[in-house]
Amino acid sequence: MFYYITMDKDERIKELEEENKKLKEHLKKYTAPSYKKAYYEKNKEQILEKMKSNPTSPEKRKEYARRAYLNKKEKMKDTQNNENI
């Protein structure tokens, strides 16, 4: 009887490992598409030139970061209020 239970567990583990592998492959398609990587490898120099020709000033970066922080803070406050209701 113990042999059958361990057999089922082993089969279940194999099934879950296969499912996990399939899901990881599916996720790769959305998180790190190869076509984007190929695009950036081909146009790396052009992208770097564009970034160097139009640098963002430290004041602007600070402003963008602050705006993003305030938006994030507001969004978190809204979600907490919705959870409390």
Q: Which of the four pLDDT bands, split at 50, 70 and 90, describes residue 1? A: very low
Q: Domain of residue 43: give its range.
A: 1-54
Please give the radius of gyration of the chain, using alpha carbons only, rounded to the nearest integer: 24
Residues 6 and 36 placed together within one structural domain of the fold: yes
Per-residue confidence (pLDDT) for residue 9, from 0 to 100: 84
Q: Which of the four pLDDT bands, split at 50, 70 and 90, describes residue 22? A: very high
Residues 41 and 62 placed together within one structural domain of the fold: no
Distance CA 3, CA 10 (A): 11
| Torsion angle, alpha carbons of 38, 40, 46, 50, to 10 | 160
* CB-CB contact of 43 with 50 (8 Å): no
Residues 32 and 65 placed together within one structural domain of the fold: no
Per-residue confidence (pLDDT) for residue 40, from 0 to 100: 85
Residues 34 and 17 placed together within one structural domain of the fold: yes
Residues 17 and 42 placed together within one structural domain of the fold: yes
Residues 68 and 50 placed together within one structural domain of the fold: no
DSSP letters along 38-66, please?
A: HHHHHTHHHHHHHHHHSPPPHHHHHHHHH
